[in-house]
Amino acid sequence: MSYEACDLQTDSRYPFDPRANAFELAKMESIRRKQHPLILITRVKSSGVHYFIGPSKSYSNEYPSELEPYITKDDFEAFINEVNDVIVKYWPCFFTFILAFAFSVVTCFLSLYLPRVCIEDVQRFLGYVIERWNETWEEKGIKVEYKRNLLNSELQFYKL
């Protein structure tokens, strides 16, 4: 199906035009958050190797007690296991990191982009997993978001 064939204005899965620029999307998200603020319940810290400006290789599967009123321990473990499986599946191999760092001086650090290609796949598929679980947990009043900064990343659970 081509982009022109689907009606993005009436389809609830696409609440905005994907051709809109990032500023408009950020503004729309800001307005949505003001109307329906999210309340942070807990954070799940990363527990594996980090790629700078990206995800961790794994996340802790320790069940936070703050989630007891919202989701079961089995649901949480299934979610974390799926997240960790996706990350392991698309994580760059050790050899890729060795090549990237070995050739970084010769290539003026452009070779560090080599693992970044795989990391972008990790983030994209991680987003798909989180979106699917958010749809499942929407009726329970909970939402998960993936947050990252320079040297760390975490999964944040919010009350809707």
Q: Give the residue, 157 or 151, on which the prediction is more confident.
A: 157
Position 157 scores a pLDDT of 93
| Beta carbons within 10 angstroms of residue 112's beta carbon | 16
Position 147 scores a pLDDT of 87
Q: Give the residue, 102 or 44, on which the prediction is more confident.
A: 44
pLDDT > 90? residue 92: no
Position 7 scores a pLDDT of 43
pLDDT > 50? residue 63: yes
Tokens of 133: 């679980």
pLDDT > 60? residue 86: yes
pLDDT > 60? residue 20: no
The predicted model gives 101-117 an average pLDDT of 76
Q: Strand runs (DSSP E) across 5-139, as ranges?
A: 39-45
Tokens of 35: 């109307």
| CA–CA dist 99, 115 (Å, integer) | 9
pLDDT > 50? residue 11: no
| CA–CA dist 116, 53 (Å, integer) | 9
| CA–CA dist 86, 93 (Å, integer) | 14
Q: Give the residue, 35 or 66, on which the prediction is more confident.
A: 66
